[in-house]
Structure 1
Amino acid sequence: MRYRMLSLALSAAAVRAAATTYDYIVVGSGPGGGPLAAELARAGFSTLLLEAGGDEGDNPTYADLMNFNEAANDEATRWDFWVKHSDDPERELKFEHTVYDTGDGTFHIGPDPPEGAKHLGIQYPRAAVLGGCAMHNAAVCTLPADDDWNIIVNKTGDTSWEADNMRKYLKKMERVQYLAAGNPDRGYDGWLATSVGDTSWAKNNSNPQTRIAKKVAELTGQDPENVASLVGTDILAKADKMDEKNSFYNMAQHMDSQGKRNSPNNYVRATIADPAKYPLTLQLHTLVTRVLFDEATVGEGKTPRAIGVEVMEGPSLYGADPKHVKGTKGPVSQILAKREVIVAGGAFNSPQILKLSGVGPADELKKFGIPVVKDLPGVGENLGDNYEGSLLALGQAPVEAGLMTLLFRTPSAPDKKRNIFTWCGAFSFEGFWPGFPTDHGPTQYTCAIVHMQPKSQTGTVKLVSANPQDTPDINFRFFDKHGDQDLKELVEAADILREAIHAAGPPVQPLVEQHPCKQTLNCTFEEKKEYFKTQAYSHHATSTCAIGGDDDKFAVLDSKFRVRGVAGLRVVDASAFPVVPGAFPSCPTMMLSVKAAEDIIAEAKGQK
């Protein structure tokens, strides 16, 4: 078979022939790629799973969920993307945790950098490791609003995306640890354990956290006298009009009952170790540099066909890796796929790989001398994320209780759906920077705020060169459209929570707010709005290879994850979502992965 090499700079001596051809090649082992590769292999298809990082599944830093902050800071797996939140350089410098490279191997965080320091931007850490970002996150497992699934039905006409149908993928992959057997909507023998925390603190009416919860209940239309029961509500339960209900929840996490992280890492390793000898091959420390195409299929009026990938082998080859030494390269080879190449690199790397392969906006590709295989203007566009912020205060004594989790609607939300996910407790979370979070001492109290359904998704992932080791230029363009409305909703959320935390009573009171109001009981609406505009952060990027309809020129994928206008190539990860799915995309992306496997296997068996 002939193939098209899209790297004119590579000499023939630098390329060695692939030793093996697989049915499927899956690029990336995170929530999108890991489950998909395991499912394909279990269906009998020879599958190669490529991962740029290593395997830390037995490392307590990753295996014990309580260490998630340490995991996200660990240079062993961390990829640092330095992103922008806007096109305004002055606004970017106002971010209190913006990062500078001092030149001596250290970072400077915040304003007033030392002379000669290089401004890097806002840290957006990703995980280069078997299991992807599901190995360094807080493992929160929630579902999107029904409409976040149904939007795909509306765009494509594919009813398999209806919310009721999508729940079956949660059931298929879940091994619930906290419910008695027999719930027809939940799974008990899947590969992903789910557990919840202890909410017994709410039975103690003298506990400051209980007093805060009762005030929250009053402010959000719940029964304050029933808080002890309400905080144990199952966040993964199925109920009518759930997305319109203000409610406390017990936060579910993808971990087992012993606090051990569960992720695609577990599923991939279990599939490889299974006595059934499923045909899954895992190749670590392998950076995919581009997708290969059959030369005979590339050209005007033809449908290009993906037939494999080009890879560079070795550790720390990507520029986002803090251990990367510029100029370091590894041996380059090609690996072929008989059926398909499936890209699952995430919202930053999937569009980069497509563009490096000649699939993307033609003008951008030509700028870097990349031959155009398929002009797809939507690749790298539509980048979106939730807006995140927090209400942080310091008390006179610790609030010694577990987390309080709540989803609710603010007064000015444009429809009946709740728009805020929050969790409150004695912790600090103010975004990401090297060494995060700041420990404000034992009396710190935070309500972390996630604003769902952002009304602006105009961010971009752009190439900076044709070098696959270079990180792309990433700009989220926060609040670019309808920003005033989203900011108003964030302020309203903080105002509700502020009123609630001041019900803590002795010995915690008085609580001294650190932000958004700085050491005052209140501040003006404009001050609070400005705080969220300049200090909002995020870590749930999606939608840069979005599924869309035939009439949408920016649609990258069809409803079966196939790259439009290209054969043998799909994208299966969070970049496929047209909109940000709910508050936390980890479990929804795993569900998407299991659905993709079902679609691909059905299609493959139909071709036999």
Structure 2
Amino acid sequence: MRLLSVLAVAKTASLARAATTYDYIVVGSGPGGSPLASNLARAGYSTLLIEAGGDEADNPTYRQMGNFIEACNDEASRWDFWVKHNDDEKVDALYKHTTWDTGDGTFYVGLDPPPGAKYLGIQYPRAAVLGGCAMHNAGVSSLAQDDDWNIVANLTGDLSWEAPKMRKYLKAIEKNEYRPAGDPDHGYNGWLSIITDDPSWAKATNTTGVRILNKFAEFLGQKASDEVTLLSQNDILSASPDKDYTSSLYNMALHANSKGERSTPGDYVRATLSDPAKYPLTLKLRTLVTKVLFNESSTTPRAIGVEIMEGASLYKADPKYIPGTKGPVSQVFASKEVIISGGTFNTPQILKLSGVGPKAELEKFGIKVVKDLPGVGERMGDNYEASIRGVTTEPIPAGLTTSIFRTPNAPTKKRNIYAWCGPFSFEGFWPGFPDNRPNQWECALVQIGPKSQAGTVRLRSADPQDTPDINFRFFKEHGDQDISELVAATNIMRETWKAAGAPALPIQELHPCPGELGKAPCTDAMQKEYTQLQAYSHHATSSCAIGADSDPLAVLDSKFRVRGVSGLRVVDASAFPVVPGAFPVVPTMMLSQKASEVIIADAKGA
């Protein structure tokens, strides 16, 4: 079934256009690239969409949202990036999920590797598949804070980025399935289905899960009697002007349909390919882009196409990669523009391999400099994530308790934590994650508005099959403040646990304060040390950011154009100047919709 699906897509694509020159080439089919390529083709422009992975549309591991853990671990799409959290490898080695290659085809995860094991680092899986990481994530749909959009307007003077004007892009892509029809804040005819969790569990009064929920509502200043109403009617994707300042319980939104099936940008691509209108979209799967091609005959170099290597599992992040494997190399051309949507790790790598990036770094690897652009691969950011986890005496019957709130020590009046609690385990990524235990209970925390953006994506070599050197440099800037906010949120979560009562109590906390809840030693100092070493992340952004004309590290202008060259844009999460809210997947799709509008308008005005 899956093979037939891939062949059908390939056949449709080849019928759409067989030439080697297109109006547009889009590199990468994730939340940035897939919507953009589809929109360009629907506007009548011949468009080639290139994806290094395959298509898993008919694979239930990916289609059913509830299987996201299996999807994230699946070698059919998984690319393993082994990243650093710090400059000091000895500090990173204290991260409890540090991974080592044992040399016998297995991994060791932990703090005491066997003799001879090769240090790999911290696993950061990405998805090489049509639809990108929207195909293996948990589907959490969240919006950027207003100031995350306004910063672009403030930096560039482009007022089209002002937050109230960005809402139309959500409405354009959204097929809302949880709000009453006609809600002016939402869209109902887009390609992205969005649902919310079933909150009916909260109706079971005086259960351990509801008692925890009651305590949480108390902390938020909300009435416990209003819980079911809050969970069922409080819109987590609200357009309210005070939403960024409102601490509340919510019902988690997911990019899935009412059947629990994942909704992704890849669906939009397949719909575009199969549409009777025969839009001029070509999809090229299992194809690795090795560099952008430039015409340098004029003062400003112009992107004219890309070099590609065809074949499956050609990138060394792919666990199925066989050393020495290469594929046939060829070139394809774009008469209008090349758009890179490879994601926060691969987009800066592709630009650098193409000669666009910091001059000294390019010359180090013998790469001809097309444009010295110092900011490529710099100032990467991410949401810090942490959790408090324990084991209860008896299972706690509950669904997810989701909230967005402000800790008392937040530096502004805006909320700074997105949290969800329930009988699950999530503590970051490592081969084979998670570590499930009977009667587990956890609150996972995502920090909104991290203060540090000191991460980098730099080349290891000039080999396009090699992975880049990725270092997040956690907590390098204003680290004490960020760590303190996470600890404050953890303390709040712990207090809600104490309200569970019998038969859940006593709870054995596993981390950050091991031992019986309320009796084990647990100071803020202990928790800060634990958080600094064990925080994790998986929402990388900003490695090729939009910025001001006066900023030497700005990579893009407000129209996504790469500075200093022509015919080349970047449309993906790497373009955000700051991390957008708590989960960047939907903001990236909104960004892609805006880019579509901008690029089509430029084409019509040319």
- TM-score band w.r.t. shorter chain: over 0.9
2:300 aligns to what? 303
What does the per-residue CA deviation read over 1:339-376, in whole Å, with 9 as the maximum and x for residues that have no partner?
00000000000000000000000000000000100000
Identical-residue share of aligned pairs (%)? 66
Contact 1:358 1:365 in 2 (8 A): yes
Residue in structure 2 matched with residue 258 of structure 1 by the alignment: 259
Superposed, which structure 2 residues align to 1:385-424 within 5 Å? Answer: 385-424=382-421
**Residue 373 (str. 1) matches residue 370 (str. 2):** yes
Instruction: Compute the TM-score of the two structures, normalised by the length of structure 2.
Output: 0.96
Q: CA deviation at 1:223?
A: 2.1
Residues 70-101 of structure 1: CA deviation (Å, up to 9, x unaligned): 00000010000000000112210110000000
Deviations 1:309-328 (A, max 9, x none): 00000000001000101211
Partner of 1:9: none
> Normalized against structure 1, the TM-score is what?
0.95
**Aligned match of 1:8:** none
Q: How does 1:103-118 map to 2 (within 5 A)?
A: 103-118=103-118
Report what 1:457 is aligned to: 453
Q: Deviations over 1:358-400 (max 9, x none)?
A: 0000000000000100000000001110000101011011112
Contact 1:222 1:246 in 2 (8 A): no
Aligned residue number for residue 237 of structure 1: 238
Conserved 8 A contact 1:544-1:575: yes
Match of 2:203 in 1: 203
**How far apart are 1:122 and its partner, in Å?**
0.2
CA distance in 1, matches of 2:437, 2:474: 28
CA distance in 1, matches of 2:221, 2:120: 44
Picking from 316, 320, 326, the partner of 2:317 is: 320
Is the aligned partner of 1:594 residue 2:593? yes
After superposition, the C-alpha distances for 1:473-531 in whole angstroms (9 at most, x for unaligned) are: 00000000110111110100000010011111111111111111111435111110011
Partners of 1:322 and 1:515 lie apart in 2 by: 31
Alpha-carbon separation, structure 1, partners of 2:578 and 2:189: 30
Please state how far the C-alpha of 1:466 moved relative to its aligned partner.
0.3
Deviation, 1:550, is 0.4
Matched, 1:285 2:301: no
Q: Secondary structure at the match of 1:91?
A: helix
Q: Does 1:425 align with 2:422?
A: yes
Whole-angstrom distance in 2 between the partners of 1:470 and 1:601: 34
Q: 1:568 is aligned with what amino acid?
A: G
Q: Deviations over 1:195-240 (max 9, x none)?
A: 1111111122212111111111112222223222122211112212
1:595 is aligned with what amino acid? K
Distance in 2 (CA, whole Å) between partners of 1:447 and 1:495 is 11
In the other structure, the counterpart of 1:225 is: 225
Residue equivalent to 2:511: 515
Task: Give secondary structure in 2 for the equivalent of 1:296.
Answer: coil
Distance 2:395 2:562 in 1: 52
Q: SS in structure 2 opposite 1:415?
A: coil
What is the distance in 1 between the residues matched to 2:545 and 2:59? 34
Match of 2:56 in 1: 56
- CA distance in structure 2 between the aligned counterparts of 1:42 and 1:109, rounded to whole angstroms: 47
2:485 pairs, out of 471, 482, 489, with: 489
The match for 2:269 is: 268
> Is 72-81 or 84-93 further displaced after alignment?
84-93
Q: Which of 564-573 and 181-190 deviates more? A: 181-190
Q: 2:479 matched to 1:478?
A: no
Q: How does 1:141-156 map to 2 (within 5 A)?
A: 141-156=141-156
Q: Distance in 2 between matches of 1:207 and 1:559?
A: 51
| C-alpha distance in 1 between matches for 2:590 and 2:323 | 37
Code of the residue aligned with 1:538 in structure 2: it is: S
Amino acid at match of 1:480: K
1:125 equivalent in alignment to 2:121: no
Equivalent AA in structure 2 for residue 474 of structure 1: I
Distance (Å, rounded) in 2 between the aligned partners of 1:77 and 1:203: 39
Is the alpha carbon distance of 1:45 and 1:317 closer, same or farther for their aligned partners in structure 2, counting shifts above 3 Å? same
Rounded Cα–Cα distance in structure 2 between residues aligned with 1:458 and 1:170: 30
Residue number in structure 2 paired with 1:356: 353
Partner of 1:193: 193
C-alpha contact 1:289 1:356 (8 A) present in aligned 2? yes
Q: Which residue of 1 aligns with 2:8?
A: none
> Runs in 1 of length 4+ with deviation above 6 angstroms?
none
- Matched residue count: 585
The residue aligned with 1:435 is: 432
> Matched residue of 1:167: which SS?
helix
The letter of the residue matching 2:278 is K
Match of 1:27 in 2: 27
Asked if residue 581 in structure 1 is aligned to residue 580 in structure 2, the reply is yes
Distance across 2 between alignment mates of 1:212 and 1:324 = 47
Deviations 1:441-495 (A, max 9, x none): 2x10010000111100000000010000000000000000110111110100000
Following TM superposition, by how much is the alpha carbon of 1:267 offset from its aligned partner in structure 2, in angstroms?
A: 0.2
One-letter identity of the residue aligned with 2:221 = G
Residue 19 of structure 1 deviates from its aligned partner by 5.0
Matched residue of 2:510: which SS?
strand
